[in-house]
Structures are given as C-alpha cells and as structure tokens.
Amino acid sequence: MTELVAKTSTVTLTINDQTVSVPKGTTLLEGARQLGLKIPTLCHLKELAPDGSCRMCVVEVEGGRKGGLVTACTAQCKDGMVIYTDSERVHDSRRFVLDLLLSNHKIDCFACVKNGDCQLQDYCMDYGVERTSFTEGKRMPCFQEDLSSPFFDYDPEKCIMCRRCSRVCQLRQGRDVLSLANRGFDTKMTPSYESSFDQSICESCGNCVAVCPTGALSEKDHKYYRKWETNRVRTTCPHCGTGCQMDLIIKGNKLVGVEPADGAANKNLLCVKGRFASYKFVGAKDRLTDPLIKRNGVFEKATWEEALDLITKKFTGIKENYGADALAGFSCSRATNEDNYVFQKMVRTVFGTNNVDNCARVCHSASVHGLAHTLGSGAMTNPIEDITTDVDMILLVGSNPTEAHPVIGAQIRQAIQKGTKIVVVDPRKIDLVKDSDIHLQIQAGTNVAFANGMMHVIIKDNLMDQQFIENKTEGYEALKQMVADYTPEKVAEICHINPDDLRQAARMYAKAEKAPIIYCLGVTEHSTGTEGVMSMSNLAMLVGKIGKSGCGVNPLRGQNNVQGACDMGCMPYDFPGYQKVNQPKVIEKFEQAWGVSLSRNKGMTSTQVLPAAAEGKVKGIYIFGEDPIVTDPDTGHVRAALENLDFLVVQELFMTETAAYADVVLPGISYAEKNGTFTNTERRVQRVRKAVEPMGQAREDYEVFCDVMTRMGYLSQYDSADEIMDEIASLVPSFGGINYARLEEGGLQWPCPTADSPGTYIMHVGQFTRGKGLFMAIPYKEAKELPDETYPYLMSTGRMLYHYNTRAMTGRTEGINQIANRSYIEINYQDAEKLGIKEGDKVKVSSRRGEIETYAAVGDRVFPNEVFMTFHFPDGNVNEITNAVFDDIAIIPEYKVCAVDICPV
Ligand SMILES: Nc1nc2c(c(=O)[nH]1)N[C@H]1C(S)=C(S)[C@@H](COP(=O)(O)OP(=O)(O)OC[C@H]3O[C@@H](n4cnc5c(=O)[nH]c(N)nc54)[C@H](O)[C@@H]3O)O[C@H]1N2
Ligand SMILES: Nc1nc2c(c(=O)[nH]1)N[C@H]1C(S)=C(S)[C@@H](COP(=O)(O)OP(=O)(O)OC[C@H]3O[C@@H](n4cnc5c(=O)[nH]c(N)nc54)[C@H](O)[C@@H]3O)O[C@H]1N2
Ligand code: SF4
Ligand code: SF4
Ligand code: SF4
Ligand SMILES: [Mo]
C-alpha cells in the first residue's frame, strides 16, 4: 500500500538532461528550481496561484504541442517529460516578451531609483535586449506619477502590467486598493477609481512595492541608496508580537530601508510599521548618546564611571537603610531575551528582591495568570499559520488585528476570502466587522457575561464535547450550574446585544470543526481581566477545541518581545521559564546556579510598586525601556510615585517623559545595534542581528546591567549574547534545546527541551500542561467605574494602525506623522449631534482623575454613549484620565473602561 502511494505520488522527468523526481502536482517552475535552475518570472509570486500572464517563464517541452513552449509556472511535471529551460527557442521567446515590454516602458534607467535593483533590467541584460525593436507606432503614454503616499512613489510609465501589486494587495493584504483601469493602450494599474494612494483605502504596508519587478512602485527612501552600495541583515521586527522577519538595508553605518523576508509568521508580508517605521528612529538625532546625571534639576553629561558609581552608591545605600524590597526594576519588553534575562538576574542577585516586572503587567498579565491556572501555560496555544489556514470559523474577542497585529490581520482576511467564517466580539466596528458573519457589539467590560451566555446556549443545545470534558478536564459541574443562570436574554441585556445573535454565534462556534479563539486586550485590560481570560479557556474546553490543529485559546501578545520578557522571568512570581519563586526547590536551583542567596519574599508587580513608591515604601527604581508616565493609567498617581523616589534610573533610547524624572539616564541601544533574540506571540524564538554600530557612548543594555552587578559585589560578564542564551538554556527546561547555531536555520517554538526537539507547534496535545484542564465557574462582575450623571460616557482606550504605544519609534518617522499626528476621540453621530460637536472639533474630555483636550472623530465606529481614544499622542494623553483600578489576580489596570464627560471647547 505504501509503495503504491509512493509510486503514484511522485513523477520523474528530465530537465536540461538532468533527471529529477518530484511530488505529483509540482509545477515545472518548482521542479527546475529544485535542480537549482533559474527560470525568469515577472508575474509569478510563490505564495499565490500561478498567473501565467507575463510569459517570461516559458520552457520547451520535447514533442509538446503549441510548438512545445509552455509557461513553467502553470504546467505540471509529468512522468517521462523532457524539458529544456534554456534552449534557443526559449530564449527567442523570452527576448520577444522583453522586447514588447520595453516598447511600453519609460526606459530612463539612469534616473530611476531602482537602477540595479530591477528585474526587468536584469532580464534584459541576461537576454541581450538593449532596446525595443517596436519603434513603429510605439506608444509614449503620458501617465502622471502618483507621489501622494508618504512612503512610496508610483510611476505608471514604468509599469509592465504584471499585476503582482494588485494581486498581493487583494489576495494577501486583503485590501484591494489596486486594479487595472481602462482598456487597450490606455490600460493602467491604479488605485481604485483612478484616484491617488492618499485618497484610497491603502494601509501603506508597502507589500505591493516589495513585489513590483520594476521601478514603477518604489520606496521614497530608495532615492538615498543604490542597491550595490548596501548590505542587508536579516532580523525581527521591533514592533508587535507577530514577529515578522525582515531585512534591514544598510548603507555605511546607516539604515536606509527595510524589506520583507520569508519568516514563519509573515511569509514575505510586513505592515507599515515594520516596513517604514523600523529604521529612521535608530539614527534619529535625538538618540541618547551619553550617560546623564541630574544636578540641581538639570541633566549633565557624565562618564560611565561616574554614572555607574552613583547608581551603585545610591542603590546600595537604599538597600542598607530600607531593605532590599525598597528597590524595584521594570524590564523592557522591546529588548531582547538576553537583555531581559540579565536584567532580572541583576534585580534578584544584587538588589536582592523579587520586585521585577515588565509591561505584560499592564497588557497580558491576565493571560499569563489566567491560562497558566486553567491550562498550565499562559502562552498562545496554536501558531498563527495554524489558526488562519483552513479553519472553519474564528471567534475574535477584543482583538483588532488589522491594526494591532496587521500581518496576522492580513492572514485572517485571507482566510475569510477562502471561506472561513468570523464572529467579531468587540464594542467597536473594527475593520474586520465588515467581513464578519456576526458582530456581537458588546459593551466594554462584559466579556464574562458574553462567554457565560455562549456556554449556556452550548450546554442547553447539548453541543458540548462530553468525552473531552470527562477525560481531560475538571470543575465542569460547578461551571454548568453557574452558567445555567446566563440565559441569552439576560446576557443580551448586560451586553446590549441581540439574544439571537448570541445563540447563533454559540452554535456556529460549537459546531465548527476547526475554530480558534483569538483574543487580545479587549479581554485582559479589565478589573475582571483574569476572569475574562479564564472564560475564554472555559469556552474552548467546553467544546473540546484545544490541543488540536486550527483551534485553541490564542492571546495575541502585544510587544515584539513581551512573551520573551515573561519567559525570562521578568515577573515577581517567576524565575526564568515560569519556575515559581515560592517553591523552595526552585529557589535552591537558582541559588546554586547563580551562586548567591536569593530573596524568599513575595515580589510586587509594577502596578503595586508605583503606589508603594508614593507611600514611601519603595525608594529606588531601575526602569529599563518603559515609559510609565505616558503608558500607565492615571498619570497623576505615576507622577506622585516617581517624584517621591530617592533614586530613579532610566535606561532608554530617548529622553522620554519618564526619563525626565530620573536621577540618572543611561543610553541603551536599539534592536538594530545588537545581537539577541525575540520571542513572538506564537512562542517562536527568533534572531535579532546587529546591523549598525551604536551611537556615541551608548552600550549593550546587558553589559550595563553586568557592570552594575559587578560594582554591587557580584562579578558578572558575558562575551556575547549567545553565551547568555546558553545560560538560559541550562536553567530553563523549555529552552533546553535552543541555541544560536540552531536559530540560524530559523526560529524555534518553545517548549524545545532537547537538542533534537523540533520545538512545539501546538500546545496541550494529548494532555494539558497542567494535567487536567480546569473549568472555573465565574460570575459576571461590572467594571469598577460606570457612567453616571456627572460622567455619562463609557470610555475605552486602545490602538490605531500607524502609531505604536508611546510613539518612541513611529513618532520619529515623518511619513507616519504625516498620516496621523494628533489625538482624537471616536464618538457616535448621535452623541456628537446632542453635544453640538462636528468632525475635527476640539473637545474637552474629563474624568474623576483630570481633563484633557482632543479632537472629535465622529462616526458610527462606537456605540452611542460610548467613546474610544488611543494613548499614542502627547497632546491629550488619555492616561491622564484613565482609571488606576486593578484586577485582583494579575493586578492589571482597567484601561478599557472608565466614565468620562465630553464638551466642546
Ligand atoms: N499599531 C499598533 N500595533 C500594536 C500596538 C500599538 O500601539 N500600535 N501595541 C502592541 C501592544 S503592546 C499590544 S498589547 C497589542 C494590543 O492589541 P489589541 O488588543 O488588538 O488592541 P487594542 O486596540 O488595545 O484593543 C483591541 C480591541 O478591544 C476592544 N475592546 C475594548 N473593550 C472590550 C471589551 O470589554 N470586550 C471586548 N470583547 N472587546 C473590547 C477595542 O474596541 C479594540 O478594538 O497591540 C500591539 N500592536
Ligand atoms: N490607555 C491605555 N494605556 C495603555 C494601554 C492601553 O490599551 N490603553 N496599553 C498598555 C500596554 S498593552 C502596554 S504593553 C504598555 C506599553 O508601555 P511602554 O512599554 O511604556 O511603551 P513603549 O512605547 O513600548 O515603550 C518602550 C520604551 O522602550 C524603549 N526601548 C525600545 N527598545 C529598547 C532597547 O532595546 N533598549 C532600551 N534601553 N530601551 C528600549 C523605547 O525607546 C520606549 O521608550 O502601554 C499600556 N498603556
Ligand atoms: S501599500 Fe499595501 S494596502 Fe496600499 S496598495 Fe500597496 S499592498 Fe495595497
Ligand atoms: S506597478 Fe509594478 S507590480 Fe504593479 S503591475 Fe506595474 S509593474 Fe507590476
Ligand atoms: S505585523 Fe507587527 S511584527 Fe509584523 S511588521 Fe507589522 S509591527 Fe512588525
Ligand atoms: Mo501590550
């Protein structure tokens, strides 16, 4: 039987006198490439079905019909075929194609930014086509250039109509901005309705530009370099947790551009931030280049010696006078695993406290705690590819991936195009709503009620997976009793949705074979965040959709390396690898490995450290790459905390608002200036590679921590980042098989316990990490601050596509600011009318914490009586007015609900 399968599933043929066996269904193009033969293509894209329109890839089939020439991208390999890829006839045909293309191409190579970086030019050289022979009747069209995008230019006269751009935009980015307009000689590739890019729905991802084989679409910054003057370095995007792979383009010691690479998570796609906002900030003029010491309220340049001596003296003094727990460290989820590992080691070994945390606290700490409690691991269960390929439906809860994880968003759009159904659970009409089958526009803060309602319907309709529940879980009876109360009618009232929509969504999810839950901060950033997360795992376990392909509970982690910062133990309760600080065996293990005695005290979360500082219990904080003045809730309380400290150190790329409060500011270095690894949302550890030298006196972040450790009496030194990874692997069982040599071949998904482990694609297969999956019966609780007469609007906060968190990086990319440069508040038409507010009007938004001014964005994206703001902009920073109340378990702030009032200014 197996032999038969083997026989029928491969075919053997001859290509250029070489014999090759390939799986049935392989195209001639793929078959030839397997032999290392290069066949030219202009319209082909490996991720999409063959187009066969440019005819550059023709090859000769011996004895074939139509003169024996076929397009290699569409023709399949057959047994006994004899193929020639470089015969005279093939060359003649290709020359004819190029000749025709040139007849319609503005041959202006000297003035073209893509000179030397152009496939058309390369092929013309290869095939000896210097000019077109179609001089008679040659068309010289006068199409206008479109320079309206802040990031790229379009010159239609260089377009060869290969349709790569429009196919990528439609079928991969899911946007459909570009199409061919007009007919005959007037045919033109153009943004919809012959408008310009800036007037279209273009998202500036640049994925069309990346595939354009000519100078028709080119990056604006390509003006500043010629391909032959540059080097490229493969690395990982420094923005969101998708973990896209990309190449930095380097000229001299300067980054001049980024191009997408074929990574597991992105497969040659990037979003606007990776593509256009990842390089300019690195060489920004206002990068910190020297240590700074504040003297009489003014920062003065200092030597590393002076700065490190002062830090040592102050921190040692605080420790001696007030005890180790008067010190704390906030680590940087933007920095590498290696930096984060050494940072928490510094806090634990020389500060002597477990007061170490990272921005996951204000982000997905609820996922880390909630999923670890119910499943045994707080990480995303299934990989991105698995939950966006061939799944029947997606349950998307409180996640706006087309803006916050755009390359995942694009893959979800691709899935929808191929027939995947999607239920969007979000208080706002996010972009994916228009493609959704059901939109449950629940009121922010009601996730638990929504999930209980879903489970009520599933149990009532007997759609649960009884066998899975019995064999693999515990706690079901209590859950069943609890959700019995949550009738669709009751839930509909709490969530302000239609009960039938809820019924339909529940049935759709339960009946689907493959259906992942994908969720994000709409679930976690609540005073009931951990409960919301556990409600997601309840739901998935009830229908047995976990530990299986195309299913699972999938928190999309936010920052590029927030998964890593947690994995590396930058959390008060966990050593690296989630090994618990409260377990004596674990402490002993780390004491032995690190050769010091370690604190047995429970550490504080960053959200507990700040109030403790305000009370004078915490006296010294070391902040590594975070900006809590901008990003923590209720800025007033953060200010009070930082002002009350005896000593604050901030290690940063820029003079941030938080750095302004520091006593010592140390210059750190960015992802492009260091070697290391980031771990993306799907647990994939990927390399970050040094592309340029740091500026001024700035040094490796981990080296600075080592110096502090050494000065505080614990000798510490690493020669390189890979040495740190080896130490991590020796202490963290799930990293046991990870090292830089293996990472050269691509990323590895932890758990990867041994050198021969391929890593773990899907978690909880067969058995939960915890043993049995735990159902938690969770009743719905209201958010802590709801609208009332004084503050009648429910405000939620979150993100937009173009800016990233504090804008430390995106704000230093001019094109991004051209598109979005001021804060805004999304408000419903009805409310705007009631308040006499028009689009773009300046408004005052106030809460119990304070007031800010911003501009109205009037529409129907939000529900009446609800408003939404982003926290990206320095004008009208919304965290001046958000509510610093917390979830009891993860101590995560309720960024997603507070009560405000609005009035015109
Ligand atoms: N462009 C961009 N991308 C980013 C970032 C960025 O700043 N800019 N930041 C990164 C980071 S750190 C993170 S953590 C991620 C966050 O990524 P997301 O969580 O996707 O982003 P948010 O906009 O904060 O919130 C997501 C959605 O939750 C909805 N929501 C609010 N309250 C509720 C609720 O109670 N229930 C439900 N079901 N939905 C609710 C909001 O309407 C919003 O559409 O993005 C990462 N990616
Ligand atoms: N209202 C509201 N507020 C929110 C949220 C919300 O939804 N609503 N979301 C919250 C969430 S999810 C998050 S994650 C936080 C994010 O909050 P933050 O972590 O404070 O925000 P970032 O802009 O990511 O700041 C990272 C800083 O690290 C620096 N940096 C980057 N790389 C390096 C490096 O390699 N070395 C050094 N030394 N520094 C580096 C950058 O210059 C930048 O200033 O914001 C939270 N705040
Ligand atoms: S930049 Fe992206 S969204 Fe805009 S046209 Fe190109 S592929 Fe489409
Ligand atoms: S703009 Fe570029 S990618 Fe698009 S059809 Fe023209 S040549 Fe092809
Ligand atoms: S999706 Fe995220 S990781 Fe990918 S390019 Fe955009 S910001 Fe970078
Ligand atoms: Mo985040």
Which residue is closest in CA terms to ligand 1's atom 6? Answer: 804
Res 7 pLDDT > 60 = no
Reported as a pLDDT band with limits 50, 70 and 90, residue 65 is confident
Coil, strand or helix at 893: strand
Res 489 pLDDT > 90 = yes
Q: In the prediction, which pLDDT does 139 show?
A: 61
Neighbour count for residue 233 (Cβ, 10 Å): 16
Would residue 781 be called left, alpha or beta, if left means φ above 0 and alpha means ψ between -120 and 50 degrees?
beta
**What are the structure tokens assigned to 519, written together?**
């969720």
275 and 328 housed in the same domain:
no
Atom of ligand 1 lying closest to residue 273 CA: 1
Q: In the prediction, which pLDDT does 4 show?
A: 43
For residue 799 and ligand 1, the question of a CB distance below 6 A is answered with yes
Interatomic CA distance for residues 328 and 609, integer angstroms? 7
The CA–CA distances, whole Å, from 260 to 248, 249, 273, 387, 671 equal: 9, 11, 12, 22, 17
The DSSP secondary structure of 527-591, one letter per residue, reads TTHHHHHHHHHHHHHHTT-SSSTT-SEEE---BTTHHHHHHTT-BTTEEGGGEETT-HHHHHHHH
Reported as a pLDDT band with limits 50, 70 and 90, residue 5 is very low
Residue 169 CB-half CA count within 13 A: 25
CB-count exposure of residue 260 (10 Å: 0-12, 13-18, 19+): buried
355 and 398 housed in the same domain:
no
Q: Would you say residue 91 lies in a domain?
A: no
**What are the structure tokens assigned to 625, written together?**
């790459």
Coil, strand or helix at 558: coil
317 and 275 housed in the same domain:
no
CB 845 within 8 A of CB 854: yes
Q: In the prediction, which pLDDT does 767 show?
A: 93
Which of 534, 528, 530, 557 lies closest to 445 in space, CA to CA? 528
For the stretch 804-843, pLDDT in tens is 999 999 999 999 999 999 999 999 999 999 999 999 999 9
Instruction: From 240, 634, 653, 878, give the residue whose CB has the most ligand 2 atoms within 8 Å, as the site to mutate.
Output: 653
For residue 797 and ligand 2, the question of a CB distance below 6 A is answered with yes
Reported as a pLDDT band with limits 50, 70 and 90, residue 8 is low
* Average pLDDT for 231-259: 98
Interatomic CA distance for residues 54 and 97, integer angstroms? 8
345 and 413 housed in the same domain:
no
Res 431 pLDDT > 80 = yes
Interatomic CA distance for residues 509 and 567, integer angstroms? 31
Tell how far the Cα of 696 is from the centroid of ligand 6, in angstroms: 30
Q: In the prediction, which pLDDT does 194 show?
A: 80
Tell how far the Cα of 404 is from the centroid of ligand 1, in angstroms: 6
For the stretch 836-858, pLDDT in tens is 999 999 999 999 999 999 999 99
For residue 363 and ligand 1, the question of a CB distance below 6 A is answered with yes
CATH of the domain at 519: 3.40.228.10
Which residue is associated with the tokens 């095939």?
127
Single residue among 261, 283, 305 that ends a domain in this structure: 283
Tell how far the Cα of 294 is from the centroid of ligand 3, in angstroms: 47
CATH of the domain at 859: 2.40.40.20
Which residue is closest in CA terms to ligand 2's atom 39? Answer: 625
Q: What percent of the chain has pLDDT over 90?
A: 94
Reported as a pLDDT band with limits 50, 70 and 90, residue 232 is very high
CB-based contacts of 434: which residues, under 8 Å, 6+ apart?
Answer: none
Which residue is closest in CA terms to ligand 5's atom 8? Answer: 274
Atom of ligand 3 lying closest to residue 151 CA: 1
Q: Would you say residue 244 lies in a domain?
A: yes
Single residue among 43, 58, 86 that ends a domain in this structure: 86
Q: What angle do CA 570, 572, 576 make, to 5 degrees?
A: 45
For residue 29 and ligand 1, the question of a CB distance below 6 A is answered with no
For residue 168 and ligand 4, the question of a CB distance below 6 A is answered with no
Q: Would you say residue 133 lies in a domain?
A: no
Q: In the prediction, which pLDDT does 890 show?
A: 95
**What are the structure tokens assigned to 317, written together?**
């003094």
**What are the structure tokens assigned to 766, written together?**
């067969």
464 and 551 housed in the same domain:
yes
- The residue among 187 and 58 whose pLDDT is bigger is 58
856 and 878 housed in the same domain:
yes
Ligand nearest to the CA of residue 893, numbered in listed order: 2
**What are the structure tokens assigned to 271, written together?**
């979003």
For the stretch 154-168, pLDDT in tens is 999 999 999 999 999
**What are the structure tokens assigned to 207, written together?**
């994925």
Domains contained in the chain, number: 5
Q: In the prediction, which pLDDT does 847 show?
A: 98
524 and 569 housed in the same domain:
no
Atom of ligand 4 lying closest to residue 158 CA: 7
Q: Would you say residue 6 lies in a domain?
A: yes
Which of 400, 415, 416, 511 lies closest to 454 in space, CA to CA? 511
Distance in angstroms between the alpha carbons of the first and the last residue of the chain: 79
Reported as a pLDDT band with limits 50, 70 and 90, residue 672 is very high
Atom of ligand 3 lying closest to residue 152 CA: 1
Q: In the prediction, which pLDDT does 680 show?
A: 98
Coil, strand or helix at 454: helix
Which residue is closest in CA terms to ligand 4's atom 3? Answer: 212
Instruction: From 48, 203, 258, give the residue whose CB has the most ligand 3 atoms within 8 Å, as the site to mutate.
Output: 203
Interatomic CA distance for residues 539 and 549, integer angstroms? 17
Q: In the prediction, which pLDDT does 185 show?
A: 78
For the stretch 122-155, pLDDT in tens is 999 999 999 898 877 556 567 899 999 999 999 9
For the stretch 389-400, pLDDT in tens is 999 999 999 999
CB-based contacts of 149: which residues, under 8 Å, 6+ apart?
Answer: 197, 198, 202, 204, 220
Coil, strand or helix at 382: coil
**What are the structure tokens assigned to 458, written together?**
């599933």
**What are the structure tokens assigned to 155, written together?**
């010159």
Residue 253 CB-half CA count within 13 A: 8
For the stretch 332-354, pLDDT in tens is 999 999 999 999 999 999 999 99
Single residue among 283, 306, 323 that ends a domain in this structure: 283
Interatomic CA distance for residues 13 and 829, integer angstroms? 66
For residue 204 and ligand 3, the question of a CB distance below 6 A is answered with yes
681 and 573 housed in the same domain:
yes
For residue 625 and ligand 2, the question of a CB distance below 6 A is answered with yes
For the stretch 548-599, pLDDT in tens is 999 999 999 999 999 999 999 999 999 999 999 999 999 999 999 999 999 9
* Average pLDDT for 519-526: 98
For residue 205 and ligand 3, the question of a CB distance below 6 A is answered with yes
Q: Would you say residue 422 lies in a domain?
A: yes
Instruction: From 434, 521, 632, give the residue whose CB has the most ligand 1 atoms within 8 Å, as the site to mutate.
Output: 521
CB 356 within 8 A of CB 333: no
CATH of the domain at 642: 3.40.50.740
Q: Would you say residue 119 lies in a domain?
A: no
Which residue is closest in CA terms to ligand 1's atom 24? Answer: 798
For the stretch 730-780, pLDDT in tens is 999 999 999 999 999 999 999 999 999 999 999 999 999 999 999 999 999
Instruction: From 631, 669, 670, give the residue whose CB has the most ligand 2 atoms within 8 Å, as the site to mutate.
Output: 631
Tell how far the Cα of 191 is from the centroid of ligand 3, in angstroms: 9
Residues present in the chain in total: 905
Which of 287, 291, 289 lies closest to 308 in space, CA to CA? 291
Domain residues for the domain of 356 are: 294-363+561-732
Tell how far the Cα of 359 is from the centroid of ligand 6, in angstroms: 7
For residue 448 and ligand 4, the question of a CB distance below 6 A is answered with no
432 and 509 housed in the same domain:
yes
Q: In the prediction, which pLDDT does 137 show?
A: 57
Ligand nearest to the CA of residue 211, numbered in listed order: 4
Tell how far the Cα of 262 is from the centroid of ligand 3, in angstroms: 18
Q: Would you say residue 32 lies in a domain?
A: yes
For residue 624 and ligand 2, the question of a CB distance below 6 A is answered with yes
E strands in 668-721? 676-679, 684-688
Reported as a pLDDT band with limits 50, 70 and 90, residue 66 is low
Which residue is closest in CA terms to ligand 1's atom 35? Answer: 444
Q: Would you say residue 531 lies in a domain?
A: yes
CB 646 within 8 A of CB 672: no
Q: In the prediction, which pLDDT does 328 show?
A: 98
For residue 230 and ligand 2, the question of a CB distance below 6 A is answered with no
Q: In the prediction, which pLDDT does 805 show?
A: 97
For residue 340 and ligand 2, the question of a CB distance below 6 A is answered with no
Tell how far the Cα of 558 is from the centroid of ligand 2, in angstroms: 10
508 and 579 housed in the same domain:
no
Residue 575: beta bridge partners? 579
Is the peptide bond between 779 and the residue preceding it cis, with omega within 30 degrees of 0?
no
**What are the structure tokens assigned to 306, written together?**
């002076």
Q: In the prediction, which pLDDT does 187 show?
A: 87
Q: In the prediction, which pLDDT does 142 show?
A: 78
**What are the structure tokens assigned to 448, written together?**
């638990």
550 and 568 housed in the same domain:
no
Tell how far the Cα of 180 is from the centroid of ligand 4, in angstroms: 10
CB-based contacts of 432: which residues, under 8 Å, 6+ apart?
Answer: 396, 400, 401, 402, 409, 412, 413, 416, 422, 424
Compute the mean pLDDT over every residue in the chain, rounded to the nearest whole number.
96
Reported as a pLDDT band with limits 50, 70 and 90, residue 1 is very low
For residue 159 and ligand 4, the question of a CB distance below 6 A is answered with yes
For the stretch 593-618, pLDDT in tens is 999 999 999 999 999 999 999 999 99
Tell how far the Cα of 803 is from the centroid of ligand 2, in angstroms: 12
Coil, strand or helix at 425: strand
Tell how far the Cα of 117 is from the centroid of ligand 6, in angstroms: 38
For residue 752 and ligand 4, the question of a CB distance below 6 A is answered with no
For the stretch 359-374, pLDDT in tens is 999 999 999 999 999 9
CB 160 within 8 A of CB 42: yes
805 and 868 housed in the same domain:
yes
